[in-house]
Amino acid sequence: MPIKEIQRMARADKKLAQMGIEKPLEPPNNGLLVPELIPVAREVLYAWEALIRGLAQLLHVVPVYACSECSEIHVAEAGHRIKNCNGSSSNKRQGEHLWVKGSINDVLILIESYHLFDPFGRRIKHETRFDYDRIPAIVELCIQAGVDIPGYPSRRRTKPIRMIGKKIIERGGFLEDPTPTPRDSSALLNYDTQGASLRFPSPAPSDLPGIAKETMNAYETVVKGVRRLMARYSVKACGYCPEVHVGPWGHDVKLCGEFKHQWRDGKHGWQDATVEEVFPPNYVWHVRDPSGPPLRNELKRFYGKAPAVVEVCWQAGAEAPKKYKPMMRLDIVLPDSEEARLVA
């Protein structure tokens, strides 16, 4: 959102507050659910489960390598030779990567957030941070949008919240979190990447293209659904570190260790999040021939890129969506190393 628009909205809220006029709020900003987005939240949760299941099966067949010194990953039979490592000892290796076998957590970057019983209730303090569970941010967004998961309750209001300016004058009182009960260990098992490769066996070769297509469709469903949910439901992201919080305002946990965190006493710098911060695409180099020679540093400007999930599904036999084909640069003819110097 442009800074001018933020300032204009702040001035309008301040003027209404000075006049004693209640701030007009629409769902979900008033604590009520948006009925038309409840099916979208369910669809996103089902697609998220299918995405984890499909990737866990595909990675038994499609090799993935991760650099042990930086966040770079590569989907091919061998790691590439592009010298773009920014790890701690990259100068000694002249930018070359140290490749190790990757996992689903390297392909699918899991962003977690605190689960809140009442997003409009008390803020999470630094001293009380261990009283709240950390779950995938996408799952928490679906819970707040109307999906019920056993063991992770959420307050469903029937009367809207009332505000004057930034002050809440009526929220229906504070409700303590429900008394913890023995939770079903499998409640979030299907929505977490931890141990996914052990839960799902390697698929048969004949089933590989179908699983790849279903996984690709699930990925697109999650991206579109999260974008629709975030257009209405508030999600905050720290402007300094990858921390994300699902709710109308950020928490007060002092764990930000990025640039000049001492000046902020470790507090996060909250701002409205984007879809890429909640569900990172994790771009990787596109490999036309996974079993061919490794990508070379001299030809890196001719190579394309794609989200890691798309690259895994493409190598498993799925058709890449049209919007990814330009960035994969499928229409570029790769020259030889000697010819690359003659290309303008």
295-332 pLDDT tens trace:
999 889 889 999 999 999 999 999 999 999 999 998 88
The label of the residue with tokens 């720290």 reads: 238
Please say if the pLDDT value at position 185 is more than 70: no
- Pick the range with the lowest mean pLDDT from 45-54, 166-175, 232-241, 297-306: 166-175
Identify whether the C-beta of residue 212 lies closer than 8 Å to the C-beta of residue 321.
no
Identify whether the C-beta of residue 78 lies closer than 8 Å to the C-beta of residue 65.
yes
CA angle 125/110/253 to nearest 5° reads 10
- Pick the range with the lowest mean pLDDT from 69-73, 195-199, 229-233: 195-199
The two three-digit tokens of residue 304, written as one number: 């394309």
Task: Find the mean pLDDT for residues 32-56.
Answer: 96
Task: Find the mean pLDDT for residues 38-54.
Answer: 96
The two three-digit tokens of residue 203, written as one number: 């698929």
Burial class of 166 by CB neighbour count within 10 A (0 to 12, 13 to 18, 19+): exposed
Which residues neighbour 340 within 8 Å (Cβ) at sequence distance 6 or greater? 298, 299, 302
Domain ranges of the chain: 25-121+133-175+185-227+282-339
Note the pLDDT tens digit of each residue in 262-279: 898 999 999 999 999 999
Q: Give the amino acid at 63.
A: P
Closest CA to 65 of 315, 249, 236, 301: 315
Note the pLDDT tens digit of each residue in 29-40: 888 999 999 999
pLDDT value at residue 343: 64
Q: Which residue has the higher pLDDT, 335 or 303?
A: 303
pLDDT value at residue 186: 64
Q: What is the DSSP string of 27-85?
A: TTTTS---GGGHHHHHHHHHHHHHHHHHHHHHTTTS-EEEESSSS-EEESSS-------
Please say if the pLDDT value at position 101 is more than 50: yes
pLDDT value at residue 182: 47
How far is CA 82 from each of CA 86, 291, 298, 307, rounded to the nearest angstrom? 12, 17, 8, 18
Cβ atoms within 10 A of the Cβ of 338, count?
8
Average per-residue pLDDT for the chain: 90
Q: What is the DSSP string of 287-336?
A: -S-TTSSPP-GGGGGG--EEEHHHHHHHHTTPPPPGGGHHHHTTTPPPPP
pTM beyond 0.75: yes
Q: What Rg value do the Cα atoms of the chain yield, rounded?
A: 23
Note the pLDDT tens digit of each residue in 209-223: 999 999 999 999 999
Beta bridge partners of 286: none
Please say if the pLDDT value at position 174 is more than 80: no
Please say if the pLDDT value at position 339 is more than 70: no
Note the pLDDT tens digit of each residue in 114-164: 999 999 988 999 999 999 999 999 999 999 999 999 889 999 998 888 888
H or E, element range at 143: helix 137-144
Q: Which residue has the higher pLDDT, 168 or 73?
A: 73
- Pick the range with the lowest mean pLDDT from 9-13, 174-178, 265-269, 321-325: 174-178
Closest CA to 216 of 330, 78, 323, 331: 323
Task: Find the mean pLDDT for residues 191-199.
Answer: 88
Q: Which residue has the higher pLDDT, 179 or 67?
A: 67
Please say if the pLDDT value at position 176 is more than 80: no
136: region left, alpha or beta (phi > 0 left; psi from -120 to 50 alpha): beta
DSSP 3-state of 113: strand
Task: Find the mean pLDDT for residues 161-172.
Answer: 82
DSSP percent split of the chain into helix, strand, coil, nearest 5: 35, 15, 55
The span from the CA of 135 to the CA of 111, in Å, is 8
